[in-house]
Amino acid sequence: MMYPYMILADETEIVHSQIIEKDGMKKIIVNFERPTENGFDSSRCELPDYKWTERTGYSAEKIGMFEELLHSNAHLVYKYAANGGIQIA
């Protein structure tokens, strides 16, 4: 299951998975996606390794910005993933 996290000014939507335990490590998949004229730009990163497993349409500069965002927000993403996403009252 993927949970919404935020939408950036360029219409990139960021969503994340629940916590996935694999080989004793708690991982989260974070997906970045924005609409284009021909479909979508899409990138996917696995935390805590910051391993990019998919990258279509985003520049290296944009991926760098996403990685900075992830480094400063990873603690929140893990918190929300453990609680079933952001709970907005």
pLDDT tens column, 35-66: 999 999 999 999 999 999 999 999 999 999 99
Average model confidence (pLDDT) for the chain? 94
What residues contact 20, with CB distance under 8 A and at least 6 apart? Answer: 26, 27, 28, 29
In a domain? residue 7: yes
Res. 88 pLDDT band, cuts 50 70 90: low
The answer, yes or no, to whether residue 81 has pLDDT greater than 70, is yes
Res. 86 pLDDT band, cuts 50 70 90: confident
Nearest to 15 by CA among 87, 79, 77: 77
pTM assigned to the model: 0.92
Domain that holds residue 62: 2-82
In a domain? residue 87: no
Q: How many domains does the chain have?
A: 1
The whole-number pLDDT of residue 89 equals 52
| Residue 11 structure tokens | 């219409």
| Residue 69 structure tokens | 């965002």
Cα(54)–Cα(33) distance, rounded to whole angstroms? 11
The whole-number pLDDT of residue 2 equals 94
Cα(32)–Cα(6) distance, rounded to whole angstroms? 10
